[in-house]
Amino acid sequence: MAKKRGLAWPLENTQDSPHLFANARLAWFYNWSSDNRSDVNLEFIPMYWSANKEDPAQFANKVRTQGAKIILGFNEPERREQANMNATDAAHIWKKYIEPLANEGILLGSPSIASTEEGLNLLEAFLSTGCHVDFLALHWYGRGADNFLRFITKAHERFGNKPVWVTEFACTSWNAGHPVSQEEINDFFRQATTKLDRTSWIERYAWFGATRHLDSALGSGNCLIDNSGNLSQLGQVYVNG
């Protein structure tokens, strides 16, 4: 079985190191940017986060210089607080600067969308312009492994049965007053990753989040690092399980 599990490393986590996750179980990592700031022995996948954050020509040249084989597209362009791009503008930049990378053998991940109808609709509008992608990059947060897998399958089938990367996912109620239990998170993790590993068209995935602290609405039980800077119990399972 090809190794699918990867690391979504937040650049703002400066107190810990991606080396915590350097293990044969993990194969790759990304950090929501085009800059590889770690020498960890994992394949780095650059992301073009947004045209509002980085010049597209500079991104393309950087990718070539790095010798990257795969890139990830815009981060949740449908959300104002994220990449904040409409489908028309995203498609224009994609065709002019990003798509030519495919002619050089670089695989292109779609814009990474959140698990909402807004995200699905933006991706549909983006792809309807004729933009080329090699795989879909999807995010999902919520409760229930069945709900998670239903969304992933829905997107896979809606967009031509393309391969899928799940580049963010976690188990959460989004309610700080009624957070999910660690037991529920652990059960979700076990069921979801088992299915991801066994589904041929799901190529890679990365749990959120590789940090000691998460927003109370998201829930600290999803942290892969404990308060002492060591792998949490969930982190140990993620790295070694």
Q: What is the pLDDT of residue 241?
A: 82
For residues 189 and 221, give the distance between their C-alpha atoms in angstroms, rounded to a whole number. 11
For residues 91 and 128, give the distance between their C-alpha atoms in angstroms, rounded to a whole number. 9
Non-local CB neighbours of 8 within 8 Å, separated by 6+ positions:
29, 30, 31, 32, 167, 168, 206, 207, 208, 209, 210
Average the pLDDT over 199-204 and give the result. 98
Cα–Cα nearest to 98, from 85, 111, 88: 111
Q: What is the pLDDT of residue 24?
A: 84
Average the pLDDT over 99-115 and give the result. 98
Average the pLDDT over 65-82 and give the result. 97
The chain-wide mean pLDDT, for the chain, equals: 97
Domains of the chain: 5-240 (3.20.20.80)
Residue 154 pLDDT level (bands cut at 50, 70, 90)? very high
In tens, the pLDDT along 221-235 reads: 999 999 999 999 999
Average the pLDDT over 161-171 and give the result. 99
Average the pLDDT over 41-68 and give the result. 97
For residues 27 and 86, give the distance between their C-alpha atoms in angstroms, rounded to a whole number. 32
pLDDT at 80 over 70: yes
Q: Residues of the chain with pLDDT > 90: what percent?
A: 97
For residues 15 and 192, give the distance between their C-alpha atoms in angstroms, rounded to a whole number. 29
Q: Omega into 219 within 30° of 0, i.e. cis?
A: no
pLDDT at 2 over 70: no
Q: What is the pLDDT of residue 176?
A: 92
pTM higher than the cut 0.95: yes
In tens, the pLDDT along 9-21 reads: 999 999 999 999 9
